[in-house]
Amino acid sequence: MAMYESDHTKFMREWMEKHPEQRDEQKKGRALWWDKPQSVEEQKRVATARVPVKPYYYDINN
Per-residue pLDDT for 13 more than 90? yes
Average pLDDT, rounded, for the chain: 87
Dihedral angle over CA of 39, 44, 29, 15, nearest 10: 110
Of residues 58 and 3, which shows the higher confidence score? Answer: 3
pLDDT for 41: 92
Per-residue pLDDT for 16 more than 80? yes
DSSP state letter for 4: P
Average pLDDT (14-31) is 91
Question: Predicted confidence band at 50 (pLDDT cuts at 50, 70, 90)?
Answer: very high
62, 56 in Cβ contact below 8 A?
Answer: yes
Of residues 34 and 16, which shows the higher confidence score? Answer: 16
Phi-psi region of 47 (alpha: psi -120 to 50; beta: other; left: phi over 0): alpha
